[in-house]
Structure 1
Amino acid sequence: MELLLPPAPAPVPGLLLHRGGVTATRDDVFTVETPPPTDTWYPLSHRSLVQEIQSGLVGCGFRVEGESHALSHEGARYFGVFAISLPSRPENGVGWVVGVRNSHDKQYPAGLVVGTTITVCDNLCFSGEVRLSRKHTRHAARDLSYLMSRAIGELGGKLRKLDDRIAAYREHALEDREVHDLIVRSIDNRVITPTQVPDVLHEWRQPRHEEFQPRTLWSLWNAYTEVFKGGNPHIAVRRGQALHGLCEGVLGLAS
Structure 2
Amino acid sequence: MGLMMSEGKFVGRDEIALVPTPEATASWKPVPHVDVIDAVTDVVKAHNWQILDEQYGLARDGQRMFGFLRINRTSSAEWSRCIGIRNSHDRTLAVGLAAGLSVICCSNLCLGGSMVLKRRHTCRIELNGLVVEAIDALEDDFLTLENVAEDLKIQYVREDAARIAIVKAAEAGAVNSSDILPIFQEFKAPRHEEFSDPTRWSLLNAFTENAKKYSPARADVCYRGLTRLFGLDGQPSTLWK
Instruction: State whether TM-score is above 0.5.
Output: yes
Q: How far apart are the structure 2 equivalents of 1:75 and 1:108?
A: 13
- Displacement of 1:20: 2.6
Q: How far apart are the structure 2 equivalents of 1:48 and 1:141?
A: 7
Q: Which runs of 5+ in 2 are unaligned?
A: none
Which residue of the partner structure matches residue 25 of structure 1? 12
Q: How far apart are the structure 2 equivalents of 1:252 and 1:106?
A: 29
- Displacement of 1:163: 0.3
Q: Which of 102, 108, 130 lines up with 2:115 in the alignment? A: 130
Q: Which has the larger radius of gyration?
A: 1
1:177 aligns with 2:160: yes
Q: Which of 188, 196, 208 lines up with 1:213 in the alignment? A: 196
Contact residue 126 and residue 237 of structure 1 kept, 8 A: no
Q: How far apart are the structure 2 equivalents of 1:108 and 1:52?
A: 18
**What secondary structure is seen at the aligned counterpart in 2 of 1:48?**
helix
Alignment map for 1:179-194 (pairs within 5 Å): 179-194=162-177
**What secondary structure is seen at the aligned counterpart in 2 of 1:191?**
coil
Which residue of the partner structure matches residue 33 of structure 2? 46
Q: Deviations over 1:191-237 (max 9, x none)?
A: 22221111011101111111111111111111111111121222222
Q: How far apart are the structure 2 equivalents of 1:108 and 1:179?
A: 32
Q: Which runs of 5+ in 1 are unaligned?
A: 1-12
Give me the TM-score of the superposition, normalised by structure 2. 0.90
Q: How far apart are the structure 1 equivalents of 2:105 and 2:178?
A: 26
Contact residue 115 and residue 128 of structure 1 kept, 8 A: no
Which residue of the partner structure matches residue 8 of structure 1? none
**1:104/1:129 Cα in 2 relative to 1: closer, same or farther (>3 Å)?**
same
**1:188/1:254 Cα in 2 relative to 1: closer, same or farther (>3 Å)?**
closer
- The aligned length equals 237
Q: Deviations over 1:129-182 (max 9, x none)?
A: 334243214xx3331111111111111110111000000000111112221221
- Displacement of 1:254: 6.9
Q: Which amino acid aligns with 2:110?
A: C
Contact residue 98 and residue 138 of structure 2 kept, 8 A: no
Give me the TM-score of the superposition, normalised by structure 1. 0.85
Q: Which of 72, 78, 93 lines up with 2:78 in the alignment? A: 93
Which residue of the partner structure matches residue 225 of structure 1? 208
**1:17/1:215 Cα in 2 relative to 1: closer, same or farther (>3 Å)?**
closer
Which residue of the partner structure matches residue 3 of structure 2? 16
Which residue of the partner structure matches residue 48 of structure 2? 61
**1:32/1:252 Cα in 2 relative to 1: closer, same or farther (>3 Å)?**
closer
Identity of aligned residues (%): 27
Q: Which of 135, 146, 151 lines up with 1:168 in the alignment? A: 151
